[in-house]
Amino acid sequence: MRRALFNSCLLLLSWSVQLMAAGPFDGPGYGQPPGQSDPVFEYSHTLNWIRIYSEKLEKSHATRLPQLREPLEQLQKDARFLTDRWLEWARKHEGKKLYQADIKLDLYFRSLENAQFTLEKLRKKKDDEILTTVNTLAKDLHFKAESCRASDDGLGKEITVTVRTMRGTNEVAGYEVYCAPMALVKFDKEHIRFPKISSPTQFGTLPPGFYAVWLKKGNLRTQPVGQIIGGDGKKIFPLDIPIPPDTP
């Protein structure tokens, strides 16, 4: 038992040293120690920089824009919490592989990495864009943290989302269902299409967070609407999307 405890302490110390020594990412793999591909390191490193960039933005902008302070402090708090949970998961599951494939393809990790890149460049943007983006990122990370906090597996990183497309109380088939993290909806490459036409349709591994959701049918596309997915730790999330009255 003492040996296992000693090994766990060494593991946590190693990751902590790496997190303090590593620099910010300028692209995939930047700041990563040679040969390091451990997903816990990747997650912790990215969350650490979300916290740092949030702190920097608070120092540079919150006096002039006081409405930024609360969401930026929430980002820092949730980033610290999630970092601690990832390190705790690694300690409890020493030697267990979290991924068989490349972590860079993981939707949860990509959303965190994009949040990091966005915060890094946000100081040069206009005030309105800074306010909107910070609030959106804070909401997204907070529901990731809440899902993690309430989950049975200690991470709460994947949810099965089942969507029904509804007109009033009637389920109507024939729509493509799309979503994207709200902060990234303007980027086509971040759009996620559910694999089947509704209704219902299901996506099996969607991370918790704050999303834009919309429907397509032929040349018609509905306006994206905000939707919180997860936050309660449950692995199944049913979602009814109303079809606008003027939509065929």
Domains in the chain (CATH in brackets) are 2-150 (no CATH), 159-242 (2.60.40.10)
pLDDT of residue 37: 56
pLDDT of residue 16: 46
User: What's the rounded mean pLDDT across residues 180-187?
Assistant: 91
pTM of the model: 0.82
* Integer Cα distance of 132 and 14 in angstroms: 37
Strand partners, 228: 210
E-only strand ranges, 120-208: 159-167, 170-171, 176-181, 192-193, 201-206
pLDDT of residue 36: 42
Structure tokens given for 54: 């949030």
Question: Using an 8 Å Cβ cutoff, are 202 and 161 in contact?
Answer: yes
Strand partners, 206: 159
Tell me how crowded residue 232 is: count the other CB atoms within 10 A of its CB.
Answer: 14
pLDDT of residue 7: 44
Does residue 126 surpass a pLDDT of 80? yes
pLDDT of residue 101: 65
User: What's the rounded mean pLDDT across residues 182-201?
Assistant: 93
Q: Tell me what the pLDDT averaged over the chain comes to.
A: 84
